[in-house]
Each structure stands twice: as structure tokens, then as C-alpha cells.
């Protein structure tokens, strides 16, 4: 697929995906949603990429749904609305299920589906000027498709407030409630990205994938017997894996580990 609404740039072990509709504040139209989903799915088979950075061009990170699409949706049947919403849901799942770690760099305002995109990334960093907003209720709508991912980040209590008030959430409040992990000055965003990237890329690719799987598994029911058995098997499996053996050997031999890259 040739991308028209996003930029794809691979440098060494990092893929940077840039939302590239600055003239409309990087609104999520059908094409961008499909292109983002395709990009996230396509990169999973790239053995050289070990980190995905998501950022945006222009003043805004993502202003939510595209107004032109919303105008068309006024005349949509329920079946057409289901199809459109399914596209957005598939995108959110593609980001959440990425076997490659993801980092969102947020430099400007974020609305609706853009909040979902940030919430689905493993790590998110924002500048102080960033604001978030779940403005759907102002239009007689609800932030339904993104709600499971927002809930995982900020919890039901915070959702109750911000979903029904549609208040602006500043960067520091977003950090307090867990929507972003850090707030740094605009000029320091890329330096912070490099710092976090350095930490991630120094780790075992296989262990990173296993850690993401571990989180997905235990969050369903962390205390059940099935989960307990899973955690026992998971650590046993990775201890005897090639990367597990290499990591332990490197530690005791006081040398850098020779990771194999992003391999299955």
C-alpha cells in the first residue's frame, strides 16, 4: 500500500509513523485509519524493526474524526456505521497488539480517536501545551470504540468525569490520571524519545514481546489459577530460550548481550 496520509520512516531499528494531515489537524479519515492499520500490521513481520514511534506533523497530534466523514455519516445506515466503526476498532487492536514496543510523542491537541491511539501505545510522552478531550457527548455521541483502551489507562472513575463533562485535560492532569507517562518541554520531546528508545533497544526483543504478552494475560484476572500457571510457564520458557540464556550469560560475564533482533 502506498501511504497518502502518513509517513513511514525506518532508521536503524526504529520505525517512525507520522500522522501527515496537518492542514486538518491530522483528523482520522477513513484513509488514514486504514493506512495506520496497514502500517502497524505490515511492520510486525519486519525483523529489523524493534521500536515504533508514533508522532504527528503540524500543531495538532490528532483532532479525532474527520468533519467530512462525519457529514457523510449523518446519512449512514446502522450497518454502514458498524462497518466504519469496525475500521477504527481494528486500528486500535493493531496498535495494542503490536509485538513491537510502541512510543507516542504528543506535541499538540488530541481529541476522540486520537486519545485512543495514544492510549494504545505502550509508552506516551507529551509536551506541556498538549490538551486531551473526549468531546463526543457535545455532538450527541459517545467515545465508544476507544473506551476499552481508555479504561485500561485511566480507569472507570476518571472516565466518568471526562466522558460526561467533555472537559479539556491538560498534560499534567493527563499524566496524573495515567493517559500519558511523562510531560517534557516541547524542545525536549525528541531527546526524551531518544532516551526511552535507548532503554527499550538495549533489552531483549524476545523478552519485550513476552512482557507484552504477560501484561495482556494477567490483566484479565491476575489472581486466578490459570494466570498463576501461565506466569510459572512463562518465566520457565524464557529462562531456557536462546535470548534468555544469552542475557544471563552476558550478565555474569559482564559484557553487553548480543541480541538477535526482532525475530519470532
What structural domains does the chain harbor?
6-200 (3.90.226.10), 204-253 (no CATH)
Residue 105 Cα distances to 85, 94, 160, 213, angstroms: 25, 18, 26, 23
Residue 150 Cα distances to 28, 228, 245, angstroms: 17, 26, 37
Across the 264 residues of the chain, what is the mean pLDDT of every consecutive 10-residue run?
A: 94 96 96 98 95 98 89 86 93 97 98 97 98 95 96 96 98 98 96 95 94 91 90 92 92 88 45
Torsion sign, CA atoms 86, 88, 94, 96: negative
| Distance of alpha carbon 47 from alpha carbon 110, whole angstroms | 32
What element of type H or E holds 91? helix 78-96
- 255 DSSP 8-state letter: S
| Distance of alpha carbon 148 from alpha carbon 142, whole angstroms | 13
Residue 1: what pLDDT?
Answer: 77
At 214, list the grid cell: 504477560
Residue 258 Cα distances to 48, 158, 210, 263, angstroms: 14, 43, 18, 13
Residue 43 Cα distances to 8, 40, 60, 112, 245, angstroms: 10, 6, 25, 25, 27
pTM above 0.85, yes or no: yes
| Distance of alpha carbon 142 from alpha carbon 146, whole angstroms | 10
Residue 100: what pLDDT?
Answer: 96
Alpha carbon 128 to its chain centroid, in Å, reads: 20
Q: Cell numbers 490538551 label which residue?
A: 131
Amino acid at each position: 500500500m502506498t501511504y497518502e496520509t502518513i509517513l513511514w520512516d525506518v532508521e536503524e531499528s526504529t520505525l517512525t509513523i507520522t500522522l501527515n494531515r496537518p492542514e486538518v489537524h491530522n483528523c482520522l479519515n477513513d484513509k488514514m485509519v486504514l493506512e495506520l492499520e496497514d502500517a502497524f500490521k505490515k511492520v510486525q513481520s519486519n525483523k529489523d524493526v524493534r521500536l515504533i514511534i508514533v508522532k504527528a506533523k503540524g500543531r495538532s497530534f490528532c483532532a479525532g474524526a474527520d468533519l467530512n466523514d462525519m457529514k457523510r455519516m449523518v446519512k449512514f445506515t446502522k450497518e454502514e456505521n458498524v462497518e466504519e466503526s469496525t475500521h477504527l476498532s481494528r486500528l486500535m487492536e493493531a496498535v495494542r497488539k503490536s509485538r513491537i514496543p510502541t512510543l507516542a510523542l504528543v506535541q499538540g491537541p488530541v481529541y476522540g480517536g486520537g486519545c485512543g491511539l495514544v492510549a494504545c501505545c505502550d509508552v506516551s510522552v507529551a509536551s506541556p501545551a498538549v490538551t486531551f478531550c473526549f468531546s463526543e457527548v457535545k455532538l450527541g455521541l459517545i467515545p465508544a470504540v476507544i473506551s476499552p483502551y481508555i479504561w485500561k489507562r485511566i480507569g472507570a472513575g476518571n472516565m466518568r468525569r471526562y466522558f460526561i463533562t467533555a472537559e479539556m485535560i491538560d498534560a499534567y492532569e493527563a499524566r496524573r490520571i495515567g493517559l500519558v507517562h511523562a510531560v517534557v518541554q516541547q524542545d525536549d520531546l525528541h531527546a526524551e524519545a531518544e532516551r526511552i528508545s535507548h532503554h527499550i533497544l538495549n533489552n531483549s526483543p524476545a523478552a519485550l514481546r513476552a512482557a507484552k504478552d504477560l501484561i495482556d494475560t494477567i490483566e484479565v484476572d491476575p489472581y486466578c489459577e490459570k494466570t498463576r500457571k501461565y506466569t510459572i510457564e512463562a518465566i520457565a520458557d524464557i529462562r531456557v530460550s536462546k535470548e534468555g540464556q544469552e542475557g544471563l550469560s552476558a550478565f555474569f560475564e559482564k559484557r553487553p548481550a548480543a541480541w538477535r533482533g526482532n525475530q519470532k
